[in-house]
């Protein structure tokens, strides 16, 4: 049995407009997941719990930057990048969100950083976009850290709906899109614990 979830554009960082199918054999984005039931794995990458896969080149960045603030973890950051772009550094949404972190140009202009120290802030470069995504998450967390409730859920809600909405409603606002976004990230995060294999 499949459950269909529709995710639309976010206020702060638009997510790709998706119809994700959650069910046997597919990921939240409808992307194929690896099959390790026979002891092997398909493709290359770090093997993750629940057979989710993250390309090898992003594991170190996500582990490093996923602890940027108390509300963020490598698992939350991985689930968020997976939801935003499916780990595709070349992803572009109809709402002009770009790269693995799906930054809109205005948000990138104010929050993008030169994560790899090469003198450029490149939204298409995961070495810049992943640290920028972590820093942006922590920026919105700082805006809502005085709001009661779960800090991580409030951060994700602020990322999706904006810090003002989280403050106005004293937590996750009553927007179905935002509630879905928070639930998807929180549910997916445990499966992004890196394991050997």
The answer to whether residues 68 and 152 touch, using CB atoms and an 8 Å cutoff, is: no
User: What confidence category does residue 57 fall into, taking pLDDT thresholds of 50, 70 and 90?
Assistant: confident
The span from the CA of 140 to the CA of 159, in Å, is: 6
φ, ψ dihedrals at 12, nearest 5°:
-80, -55
The span from the CA of 7 to the CA of 84, in Å, is: 10
**Per-residue pLDDT tens digits for 85-130:** 999 999 999 999 999 999 999 999 999 999 999 999 999 999 999 9
Residue 182, pLDDT score: 98
Which of 68, 84, 127, 177 is the catalytic position?
Answer: 84
User: What confidence category does residue 18 fall into, taking pLDDT thresholds of 50, 70 and 90?
Assistant: very low
Question: Which residue shows structure tokens 């929050």?
Answer: 111
The answer to whether residues 34 and 12 touch, using CB atoms and an 8 Å cutoff, is: no
Best CA proximity match to 181, nearest among 7, 2, 3: 7
**Per-residue pLDDT tens digits for 137-173:** 999 999 999 999 999 999 999 999 999 999 999 999 9
**Is residue 177 annotated as a catalytic residue, yes or no?**
no
Residue 160, pLDDT score: 95
């Amino acid at each position: 049995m499949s459950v269909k979830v529709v995710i639309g554009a976010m206020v702060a960082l638009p997510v790709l407009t998706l119809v994700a199918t959650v069910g046997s054999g597919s990921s939240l984005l409808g992307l194929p997941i690896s099959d390790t039931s026979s002891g092997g794995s398909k493709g290359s990458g770090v093997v993750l719990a629940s057979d989710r896969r993250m390309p090898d080149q992003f594991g170190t960045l996500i582990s490093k930057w996923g602890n940027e603030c108390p509300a963020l973890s490598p698992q939350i950051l991985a689930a968020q990048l997976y939801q935003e772009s499916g780990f595709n550094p070349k992803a572009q949404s109809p709402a002009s969100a770009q790269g693995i972190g799906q930054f809109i140009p205005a948000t990138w202009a104010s929050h993008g950083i030169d994560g790899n120290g090469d003198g450029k802030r490149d939204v298409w470069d995961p070495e810049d976009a992943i640290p920028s995504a972590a820093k942006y998450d922590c920026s919105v967390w700082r805006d809502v850290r005085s709001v009661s409730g779960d800090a991580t859920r409030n951060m994700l809600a602020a990322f999706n709906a904006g810090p003002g909405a989280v403050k106005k409603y004293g937590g996750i606002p009553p927007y179905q899109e935002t509630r879905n976004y928070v639930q998807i990230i929180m549910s997916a995060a445990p499966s992004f614990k890196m394991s050997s294999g």
